[in-house]
Amino acid sequence: MAGPVEEQIYRGPRRRLIETLREGGIRDLAVLRAFEVVPRHIFVPSAVVHRAYDDSALPIGGGQTISQPSVHARYLEELKLTGHERVLEIGTGSGYQTALLSHLAAQIFSVERNRELLDRAREVIRRIGARNISLLLGDGTLGWREYGPYDAILVSAAASDIPAPLLEQLAPEGRILIPLGDREEQILTVATREGDAVTRREIGPVRFVPLVGAHGWPS
């Protein structure tokens, strides 16, 4: 976990970030609490740590970014988690969103295709003491069938359509949140399983890195 000196240094910037999220329309108290207790500065590279609590995306290596906090918050609020869910995350990245999820759901299963990013995320997650997170190196478009079905699936990269294996691993009444579109621009979409049907609702425009894999974009 972050030490007392670090906590003192970043307490003010973290509180300002929470206010920014509130002003941006985030109302879910559990989501705001997760941002309050998870130290974003230990998930970003040292070169940009001074911007850890800015509401902006930051590079984390491997051509990937840590999304801006307001985007994370929007994702998490849309999922309407109650604390009892089994959640699949596609794209561990820095591990920051994974850590936020660990305060909002019962079990988190996260898949990352970049070994270096996954190893770094695993170490930081170990540091903060999260014990309800399982990590896998693999193709996120295939999901993680062994532990499905999932009450919620969160995809942190853009696809042209929802990968079939992810829909297959969605529990009844489960929901999947994913950016859908082309490589440059997407619409954040939530799909909900209702019996044998899947309904979709568009939320708004976003821009994410492409979802690479067997059921996504070619690398």
**pTM score, two decimals?**
0.94
Q: How far is CA 74 from CA 15, 26, 65, 154, in A?
A: 18, 7, 17, 12
Q: Which long-range contacts (CB under 8 A, 24 or more apart) does 11-20 make?
A: 13/52, 13/53, 14/39, 14/40, 14/53, 16/53, 17/53, 17/54, 17/55, 17/69, 20/55, 20/69, 20/70
Terminal-to-terminal C-alpha distance of the chain: 35
pLDDT band at 3, cuts 50/70/90? low
pLDDT for 149 equals: 97
What single DSSP character describes residue 182? -
Which residues carry out catalysis?
Answer: 67
Write the pLDDT tens digit of every residue in 127-183: 999 999 999 999 999 999 999 999 999 999 999 999 999 999 999 999 999 999 999
What single DSSP character describes residue 52? T
Tokens of 22: 């509130």
Separation CA 130–CA 94 (nearest Å): 14
Write the pLDDT tens digit of every residue in 23-38: 999 999 999 999 999 9
Residue 172's Cβ-side half-sphere holds a number of Cα atoms within 13 Å equal to 2
- Contact between 3 and 10 under an 8 Å Cβ cutoff? The reply is no
pLDDT band at 2, cuts 50/70/90? low
Which domains, and CATH codes, for the chain?
4-206 (3.40.50.150)
Answer whether residue 82 shows pLDDT above 60. yes
